[in-house]
Structure 1
């Protein structure tokens, strides 16, 4: 999927994304910002920022003398982020509709990305470039799904979509990229290969009680929504019904949203 296509998917998901944020995205974003250990006065770049799940806590930590650039392609999500920041009285964060792969401003003390690197066109080259926007000694923090997270949920959703489409559904390229860094050792090695020093990886365990209504909001408020593209409303409703039935029959009652948070430092020259 192109960058434009990804932005369109998350634009359409903006309302449901915001609805599930308190249970899902905000909790992961808070954990990421805490791992980044942002200090007062620091400059932060939040890539694939969504509705501000990690950008808002970063802005709180950076304080009035710090600054956060929150970048995403989805205008609808950015609007939610601006509203949330305004509600908290945060004036040190700006939400910008832009392509992270061409973002030029620098240097930053922290660059962070929560569940977004696997959507970038070339994950390796893009994140190496982002690391280059750090000042020497600056920190790059990347959050990705842990191995096994969302697997049962995603498998049943794909089964429901295939039942309605009556055809096999190709797995998204983002899932293949994410699987490369879904273990502690793999994420550690991948960040080190981006030229970072002192790499650490932390597991953030998160399991959310799940019913059919919440499961559908997660679908509509995440990248899973893209698998509904091209379906008319009656077909989408059949997918929803089939998904609810499968969740009930397979006794899936929680969402495993466990994440890995990897962090490393740009070395000082020489």
Structure 2
């Protein structure tokens, strides 16, 4: 799947992405900004920014003397981010529809990508290019899913959808990229291999209690939504009902949403 197709999937999450944000995207974004230690006056690039889970706290941290460029391809999510920025008076935060693999700008003090690098084409080359948008001595950060995060839920959803479609489960194209950086050691070694120095990796635990509403919101308000493409409304309704049954049958009452935040210097 190319970037424009991925952007279209997240565009369709729209309001559901925003409803999921307080449970998932916002706490992960805030934790990233805290670990990165964004400072007043910093120029920040937030790649794959979504609706602003990390861009909004980054802009609060930089203050009006700083600047945050938040880029994504999902226009509906950028619109939500702009609304929040206006309410909070963050005039130095710009939400911009742009391709991360082609973005050019003067060097930043900080660049970060929260839960997005594994969706970029040729992850190594794309992220290597992004690191060069940071000034010498500046900070580059990546947040990714820890090994096992959302795994039981993802398997239950995949099994349910493939049962509905009458197809065999397969592995998503981004899975290899996720696995490549899914432990502290792997993420640290990968960032060091991209030329960053002083790399540290922090584990950020997050556990969500499964309710019927939250379980389905995780499907419709995240990249999982793409798995529903091509299904008629009646089929989607059956997937929802069967997913909830499957989660109960498998005893999945909580979701592990642990992330890893890797930070290095250019």
Q: Structure 2-normalised TM-score?
A: 0.99
Paired residue for 2:237? 237
Paired residue for 1:7? 7
Paired residue for 1:166? 166
Determine helix, strand or coil for the equivalent of 1:173.
Answer: coil
- Structure 1 residue ranges (4+ consecutive) displaced by more than 6 angstroms after TM superposition: none
CA contact (8 A) 1:46 1:55 kept: yes
Farther-moved stretch of structure 1 (67-76 vs 212-221) = 212-221
Farther-moved stretch of structure 1 (170-179 vs 187-196) = 170-179
Paired residue for 1:65? 65
The RMSD of aligned alpha carbons is: 0.7
Q: Write the distance in 2 (CA, Å) between the matches of 1:78 and 1:102.
A: 18
Paired residue for 1:153? 153
Q: Write the distance in 2 (CA, Å) between the matches of 1:170 and 1:99.
A: 28
- Displacement of 1:106 in angstroms is 2.1
Q: Does the alignment pair 1:55 with 2:65?
A: no
Paired residue for 2:38? 38
Determine helix, strand or coil for the equivalent of 2:111.
Answer: strand
CA contact (8 A) 1:212 1:247 kept: no
Determine helix, strand or coil for the equivalent of 1:144.
Answer: strand
Paired residue for 1:197? 197
Q: Structure 1-normalised TM-score?
A: 0.97
Q: Write the distance in 1 (CA, Å) between the matches of 2:168 and 2:225.
A: 17
Paired residue for 2:227? 227
Count of matched residue positions in the alignment of Structure 1 and Structure 2: 266
- Displacement of 1:175 in angstroms is 1.9
Q: Write the distance in 2 (CA, Å) between the matches of 1:139 and 1:149.
A: 26
Runs (5+) with no aligned partner, structure 2: none
Q: Write the distance in 2 (CA, Å) between the matches of 1:171 and 1:115.
A: 18
Q: Write the distance in 2 (CA, Å) between the matches of 1:115 and 1:249.
A: 29
- Displacement of 1:171 in angstroms is 2.0
